[in-house]
Structure 1
Amino acid sequence: MPERPQALFAMTARNLPHVFPPELLARLRACLDVDPALVAEDFTDPRPREALARAEVLVTGWGCPRLDAAALDAAPRLRAVLHAAGSVKGFTTPEVWRRGILVSSAAAANALPVAEYTLAVILLAGKDVFAFRDRLRDRRAFPCGGIVPGIGNHGRRVGVVGASRIGRRLIELLRPFDLAVSLADPYVDAPEAARLGVPLLRLDELLRTSDIVTLHAPQTTETRHLIGARELALMPDGAVLVNTARGALVDHEALVAELRTGRLGAVLDVTDPEPLPADSPLYDLPNAFVTPHLAGSQGNEVARLGRTVVEEAERLVSGEPLRYPVDHAELSRTA
């Protein structure tokens, strides 16, 4: 049997048993020589630093220390980073790619629960569930049996901003419903949009013609405050803005001002800053529904991230190409 490559966990230690429950951990250790009792949260600590010097593979996750030149100098044998989470932007540096180190991410697996959360929110927003929940709670009674005008998901227009992994998965999930879905993404052309089964619109047109706008663009210099006062003003009365991407995509001051008029609604799973300050109006505005960054992998969903890494590790040791490599050239415009 070939010798297993030396590996080291680099993440927040308390997360490891959730990401790699016993069955997955056993599979991972069958192909990598990795000690679950040794988790690097700081590459300058002596014991992890000794293991880093021997490591050929880093199994990373949320809380991974930054892989700068100093850390990489301490890992001369490193050839692969397998990330059991989504974006690698927070801890990788250009030096990783300059040294030819392979990087894989479980971003595709993490996209699934975000798309599911967004689907649920879109359908609930189409029924104006959040407002009617509050009215029922305040009045403790509500007439039943009558038709409530102005709500419903038959023909509801949904605008998806960003054909990211999450945006594409959401488009798939929306397909069985009687919704009119459109897409805005400057990196997608008409033939690709046709393959996705949605019309491609400019952002302004999408905002003008959508009852629900859902954001799935990456956070970059260009997308900061992508949705500001001008863009919010384009949205029709009664429209709802959903953000499960990054808080900085939305100008929160402009959003609060618009929400105070009562003209729009918002569902925010991400904010800027995160968490919001205790005195933020978004906590109390009746047309704002804020959740604490729950859309991504949580609870039993994080084991899906671990399984993705285990499968990547098995490919790596068998000499097969990684299924989810991170392309450094694409990193600037992805999550």
Structure 2
Amino acid sequence: MTSDVWLPFHAEDIDGLPEGPNYLYWNGDQEFPADPADCEFYVVPYMKPPAVSRRPMPEMTSLRVVQTLSAGVDHVQPSLEVLPAGVQLCNARGVHEASTGELALTLILASLRGIPDFVRAQEKGEWSPGFRPALADKSVLILGYGSIGSAIEDRLTPFEVARVARVARSARTTERGPVHALTDLPALLPEADVVVLSTPLDDSTRGLVNADFLSRLKDGALLVNVARGPVVDTEALLAELESGRITAALDVTDPEPLPAGHPLWHAPGVLVSPHVGGPTSAFLPRAERLLVAQLNRFVNREPLRNVVLTTGAGAAS
């Protein structure tokens, strides 16, 4: 029996897809392309609301693989409990590292060097020189040291930072040096000039950046969030921003999209970008390479890559 594969791209536009599956295009439209019960490999539409992405999942009774095109999987996890046992959830490791690393560095440099102020001054025809902080000689803490955290450090290396502290769920050693456990954060935070959040959103990281976390940052520290909005307690962050003690650059917010009139829009010392870490010209070729590799493995009954968990079996690699 031919497997149905739901893709948010037209199969004829992707070179290298294996023969055999019945490829069906679905990018979040109201109408499904076929009976969801026949789908075995579901590629989740990219940058669609979670409710859209999860809508067909309760009917996917033959499902074997859920493949996201995002690094995070929190947007589909609430529907995993309705899936059959043995479904593999795979993320898009390898797709977003370049773009998200670029954006993290852009937000750091723009915030430190005052680029938003220059743009506002240009709009008013004002010449506003002055001394600004440099990234050189700063201590940077990367919270969430997976492939994206590592890519951010790659891009920090030429900028002569004084130190990079790496923090993840558990301690380990890398070629660059130690990765600290979350339990080390209280001692590490006061030493950081810049804190970059690139951690997944789960029960252990939701609200992790709370009032206590923020109070440990030194005066003048910069918080950069390219992870997920709910990693940060918005009210606690607003209190620190409004005091003028720290600054922030946020590609993600809670709530998101950030509604008009929300105080984060106008809080002092904050730069907001509209969740653009992933959607760049680098996305499509990397996403297509991932899908070709995964679907060839699927058809040839080889182990899939990027498996986050298997339903009914807990966490995987």
| TM-score above 0.5 | yes
Q: Which amino acid aligns with 1:117?
A: L
| Partner in structure 1 of residue 60 of structure 2 | 72
Q: Does 1:61 align with 2:45?
A: yes
CA contact (8 A) 2:145 2:179 kept: no
- Partner residue, 1:28: 17
- Alpha-carbon offset, residue 210 of structure 1: 0.9
Assess if the C-alpha contact under 8 Å between 1:116 and 1:170 holds in 2.
yes
Structure-2 residue corresponding to 1:302: 284
Deviates more, 1:235-244 or 1:122-131: 122-131
1:182 equivalent to 2:165? Answer yes
Q: Distance in 1 between matches of 2:87 and 2:299?
A: 15
Deviation digits for residues 227-269 of structure 1 (CA, Å, limit 9, x no counterpart): 2223222212221110111111212122122212222111011
CA contact (8 A) 1:67 1:93 kept: no
**CA positional deviation for 1:93:** 0.8
Matched, 1:170 2:158: no
More helix by share: 1
Alignment CA distance shift 1:183-1:56 (3 Å): closer
Which segments of 5 or more consecutive residues in structure 1 lack a partner in the other structure?
none
Secondary structure of residue in 1 paired with 2:53: coil
Structure 1 residues 172 and 141: alpha-carbon distance in aligned structure 2, compared to 1, 3 A threshold = closer
Tell me, yes or no, if the aligned pair for 1:111 and 1:169 is still in contact at 8 Å.
yes
- Cα displacement string for residues 72-130 of structure 1 (whole angstroms, at most 9, x for unaligned residues): 33x3xx4333333333343341454x532333332331333112210222233343433
3-state secondary structure, aligned to 1:176: helix
> How far apart, CA to CA, are the structure 2 residues paired with 1:134 and 1:39?
38
Name 1:237's counterpart in structure 2: 219
Matched with 2:265 is: 283
Would you say the 8 A contact 1:61–1:83 is kept in 2? yes
Deviations 1:272-314 (A, max 9, x none): 1112231212212341111111112345523422321122112
Amino acid at match of 2:95: A
Residue 140 of structure 2 is matched in structure 1 by: 158
Instruction: Verify the 8 A CA contact 1:7 1:32 in the aligned structure 2.
Output: yes
Separation of aligned partners in 1, 2:33 and 2:200: 36
TM-score normalised according to structure 2 size: 0.81
- Hey, what's the Cα distance between the residues in 2 that align with 1:198 and 1:46? 48
Q: Distance in 2 between matches of 1:232 and 1:83?
A: 32
The verdict on how the C-alpha distance between 1:232 and 1:82 changes in structure 2, with shifts beyond 3 A counting, is closer
Q: Secondary structure at the match of 1:27?
A: coil
Where does the alignment leave 5 or more consecutive residues of structure 2 unmatched?
Answer: 47-51
Contact 1:31 1:314 in 2 (8 A): no
2:75 paired residue among 70, 73, 90: 90
Q: Give distance in 2, aligned partners of 1:93 and 1:313.
A: 21
**Partner AA of 2:59 in structure 1:** A
Kept in 1: contact 2:72–2:200 (CA 8 A): no
For the 8 Å contact 2:5–2:21, the answer to whether it is kept is: no
2:49 maps to none
Q: Is the 8 A contact 2:7 2:24 kept in 1?
A: no
Quote how far apart the aligned CAs of 1:149 are: 4.5
Q: Give 1:46 shift.
A: 7.5
Q: Does 1:6 align with 2:39?
A: no
Counterpart of 1:33 in structure 2: which amino acid? Answer: N
**2:180 corresponds to 1:200:** yes
Distance 1:325 1:283, change over 3 A: same
AA in 2 matched with 1:195: E
| 1:71 alignment partner AA | E
Taking the aligned partners of 1:286 and 1:31, their CA distance within structure 2 comes to: 56
Query: Number of residues paired by the alignment?
Result: 304
Query: In the aligned structure 2, how far is the partner of 1:48 from the partner of 1:238?
Result: 55
Matches within 5 A, 1:100-111: 100-111=86-97
Equivalent position of 1:267 in the other structure: 249
TM-score by length of 1: 0.77
1:121 aligned to 100, 104, 107, which one?
A: 107
Q: Determine if contact 2:294/2:304 at 8 Å carries over to the other structure.
A: yes
What displacement does 1:9 show?
1.6
Structure 1 or 2, whichever has the larger Rg, is 1
Residues 86 and 110, structure 1, Cα contact 8 Å, conserved in 2? yes
